[in-house]
């Protein structure tokens, strides 16, 4: 513990579908404590336990009631004491003056206004973390105020009538209403134990938040309500998303998406690419919409994009926000990812990873992710093994997962006249190098 002013922290932000991550100010100065008690004492639990005293002769104790630890015990004067832990702790506050206990308070959220700040621009993170906001409200019986982009809260508003949604810019004006505040994110460096109690590289993207909020780390799926339930396309179709925020997240096999799209079309499906951008990249590395897929990219409202997913037979994508959206909508998801360990995302039986290749660098506790390096490949950058985690995932592996999904869900779309598509695909394949069988060069 220390006597200090709250500090700023950062969390990664991306746009709702795929963009270059940036470091954005996430936690703001919480101001003076909002609860007044005996003359000269203010306290609250906004951004940790906070006690402000005026004058001399004070002794302040902060106690973790669950662990039975005294976290801070010191004499102060004219001070703002803040806990060094800014996540959920079941605190007890004691204030003494001239050796007499003059104020004590046990942390109790029941009936209190509690504020949650979520990142503004992310989709997958919010979908992963939002269920724990509701679970926290249910367990503690508090009044919850949650801020995020209105474009994203449109998915949740109808499903969570007990929650109050506010814009992030309203936080400062409404701060005096809040008894406690929590900032939900993954904080960098990952060794930061001020804002998160566990290393998110070990707990995984979703389960880092229940640890932060003192909840059981169980996988939970958010609820959403779609404004338009009408099926937008009559024919059977599948949604795919190929774009990502950094190159390591892409499926880097040279013919992967081409062969998968051709396979899906041969099964009788229309194949809709629903990324936000039809092209994305940096420097000399750019990624285009998969050849043969229908272009449903663009700045579509999330409600419209969710409606497309709702009526798709299944989704094929990467470790990205649209995979989380498809999973939230209870669509079967084929996820192609090598840079993350499978425990990092939600469980899907159709996860595709190649353990013969280098993999799971995102979850390696010896490695820190560099948001500013679009070509981040911490183990093999600049070598012939760069991005082998997904480059060596073959179309055959992904098609096998899709075939198993179709069998499990008894999907048999109406066959179309695929002869011309098959012939065109075979002709094109004949000009491509054999990508199915490769020799791994081990370090």
DSSP string, 81-109: EE-S--S---EEEEEEETTEEEEEEE---
Task: Calculate mean pLDDT across residues 422-431.
Answer: 37
Strands 100-106, 2-3: pairing kind: unpaired
User: What is the average pLDDT score of the chain?
Assistant: 88
Q: For residue 299, tell me if it sits in a domain.
A: yes
Q: Is the pLDDT of residue 257 over 50?
A: yes
Do 241 and 92 fall within a single domain?
A: no
Do 100 and 242 fall within a single domain?
A: no
Domain count, the chain: 2
Q: For residue 271, tell me if it sits in a domain.
A: yes
Give 175's DSSP letter: G
Residues 241 and 321 sit within 8 Å (Cβ to Cβ)? no
Handedness of CA 370, 371, 373, 375 (dihedral sign): positive
Q: CATH number of the domain that 413 lies in? A: 3.40.50.2000
Q: At 350, is the pLDDT very low, low, confident or very high (cuts 50, 70, 90)?
A: very high
List the single range of 5-14, 19-28, 432-441 with lowest mean pLDDT.
5-14
pLDDT of residue 288: 97
Task: Calculate mean pLDDT across residues 58-84.
Answer: 96
pLDDT digit string, tens, across residues 396-406: 999 999 999 99
Catalytic site includes residue 108: no
Contacts of 366 (CB under 8 A, 6+ apart): none
Domain boundary among 106, 127, 145: 106
Neighbours of 328 (CB within 10 A): 22
Q: For residue 136, tell me if it sits in a domain.
A: no
Do 241 and 102 fall within a single domain?
A: no
Q: For residue 202, tell me if it sits in a domain.
A: no
Domain boundary among 61, 85, 106: 106
Q: Which of 44, 125, 275, 354 is flagged as catalytic? A: 125
Whole-prediction pTM: 0.87
Dist. CA 244–CA 250, nearest whole Å: 6
pLDDT digit string, tens, across residues 42-53: 999 999 999 999
Q: Is the pLDDT of residue 217 over 90?
A: yes
Q: For residue 418, tell me if it sits in a domain.
A: yes
Domain boundary among 50, 79, 106: 106
Handedness of CA 406, 338, 26, 280 (dihedral sign): negative
Residue corresponding to tokens 């904080």: 187
Q: For residue 129, tell me if it sits in a domain.
A: no
pLDDT digit string, tens, across residues 148-183: 988 899 999 999 999 999 999 999 899 999 999 999
Q: Is the pLDDT of residue 332 over 80?
A: yes
- Residue among 249, 276, 271, 278 at smallest CA distance from 315: 271
Q: For residue 278, tell me if it sits in a domain.
A: yes
Q: Is the pLDDT of residue 416 over 80?
A: no
Q: What is the largest CA-CA distance in the chain?
A: 90
Q: For residue 175, tell me if it sits in a domain.
A: no
Q: Which domain holds residue 59?
A: 2-6+32-106
Q: Is the pLDDT of residue 229 over 90?
A: yes
How many CA atoms lie within 13 Å of 352's alpha carbon, on the beta-carbon side? 28
Q: CATH number of the domain that 86 lies in? A: 2.60.40
């Amino acid at each position: 513990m220390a006597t200090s002013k709250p500090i700023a922290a950062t969390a990664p932000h991306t746009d709702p579908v795929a963009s270059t991550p940036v470091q954005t100010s996430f936690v703001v100065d919480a101001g003076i404590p909002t609860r007044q008690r005996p003359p000269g004492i203010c306290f609250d639990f906004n951004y940790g336990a906070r006690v402000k005293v005026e004058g001399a002769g004070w002794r302040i104790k902060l106690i973790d009631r669950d662990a039975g630890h005294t976290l801070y015990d010191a004499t102060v004067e004219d001070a703002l004491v803040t806990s060094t832990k800014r996540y959920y702790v079941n605190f007890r506050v004691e204030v003494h003056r001239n050796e007499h206990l003059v104020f004590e308070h046990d942390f109790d959220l029941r009936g209190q206004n509690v504020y949650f700040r979520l990142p503004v621009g992310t989709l997958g993170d919010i979908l992963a973390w939002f269920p724990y906001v509701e679970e926290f409200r249910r367990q503690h019986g508090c009044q919850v105020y949650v801020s995020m982009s209105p474009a994203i809260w449109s998915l949740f508003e109808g499903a969570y009538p007990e929650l109050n949604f506010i814009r992030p810019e309203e936080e400062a004006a409404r701060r005096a209403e809040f008894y406690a505040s929590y900032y939900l994110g993954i904080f960098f460096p990952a060794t930061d134990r001020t804002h998160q109690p566990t290393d998110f590289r070990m707990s995984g993207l979703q389960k880092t938040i229940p640890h932060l909020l003192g909840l059981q780390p169980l996988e939970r799926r958010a609820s959403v309500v779609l404004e338009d339930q009408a099926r937008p396309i009559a024919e059977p179709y599948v949604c795919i998303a190929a774009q990502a925020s950094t190159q390591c997240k892409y499926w880097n096999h040279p013919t992967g998406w081409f062969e998968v799209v051709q396979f899906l079309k041969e099964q009788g499906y229309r194949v809709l690419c629903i990324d936000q951008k039809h092209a994305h990249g940096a420097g000399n590395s750019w990624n285009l919409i998969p050849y043969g897929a229908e272009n449903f990219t663009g700045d579509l409202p999330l409600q419209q994009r969710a409606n497309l997913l709702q009526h798709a037979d299944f989704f094929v994508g990467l470790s990205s926000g649209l995979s989380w959206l498809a999973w939230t909508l209870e669509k079967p998801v084929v996820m192609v990812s090598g840079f993350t360990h499978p425990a990092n995302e939600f469980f899907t039986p159709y996860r595709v990873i190649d353990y013969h290749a280098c993999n799971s660098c995102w979850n390696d506790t010896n490695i820190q992710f560099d948001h500013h390096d679009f070509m981040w490949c911490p183990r093999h950058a600049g070598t012939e093994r760069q991005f082998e985690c997904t480059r060596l995932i073959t179309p055959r592996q992904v098609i096998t997962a899709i075939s198993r999904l179709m069998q499990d869900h008894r999907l048999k779309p109406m066959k179309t006249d695929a002869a011309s598509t098959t012939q065109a695909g075979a002709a094109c394949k004949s000009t491509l190098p054999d990508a199915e069988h490769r020799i791994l060069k081990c370090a």
